[in-house]
């Protein structure tokens, strides 16, 4: 499968994108725990809301992936996620209070998982278009 250049690019791009989103969400959960003085409820709420956003928007991403250009959806989602990271950094530098950080991180975490919910089905639906039919099961 990795001899197919297009498959390799899509696979590695999706892997890096989703791994980055997962690590970001995981580390933000611990940061929320730290700035909230070990308030496990807030950490759990953050992870639950992010997971719910992903769960709800993955089917939406499937519909969008069926109707629109899958590669463009992936590009737009990656650019939006990158912009969100920059926005989070700027907002957290402007607003130094821990409560403001929690609101910023909750908002951007949920939006990030909405974007991931749209990205993931588009990446998966792109595979049949770039892999030969006899190798589709392996992909």
Domain that holds residue 41: 12-126
Structural domain contains residue 116: yes
Buried b (16+ CB within 10 A) or exposed e, 89-121: eebeeeeeeeeebbebbbebbbbbbbbbbbbbb
| Ranges under pLDDT 50 in the chain | none
**CA-based nearest residue to 77, from 8, 16, 7:** 16
Structural domain contains residue 134: no
Task: Count structural domains, the chain.
Answer: 1
Q: Which residues contact 51 (CB under 8 A, 6 or more apart)?
A: 113
| Predicted pLDDT at 15 | 85
| Predicted pLDDT at 51 | 92
Structural domain contains residue 119: yes
């Amino acid at each position: 499968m990795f001899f197919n250049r297009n498959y390799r690019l899509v696979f590695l791009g999706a892997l890096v994108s989703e791994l980055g989103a997962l690590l970001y969400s995981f580390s933000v959960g611990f940061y929320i725990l730290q700035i909230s003085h070990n308030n496990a409820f807030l950490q759990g709420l953050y992870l639950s809301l992010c997971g719910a956003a992903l769960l709800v928007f993955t089917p939406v991403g499937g519909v969008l992936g069926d109707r629109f250009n899958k590669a463009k959806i992936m590009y737009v989602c990656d650019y939006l996620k990158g912009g969100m990271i920059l926005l989070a950094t700027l907002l957290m530098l402007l607003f130094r209070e821990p409560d403001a950080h929690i609101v910023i991180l909750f908002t951007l975490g949920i939006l990030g998982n909405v974007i991931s919910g749209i990205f993931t089905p588009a990446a998966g639906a792109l595979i049949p278009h770039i892999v030969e039919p006899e190798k589709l099961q392996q992909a």
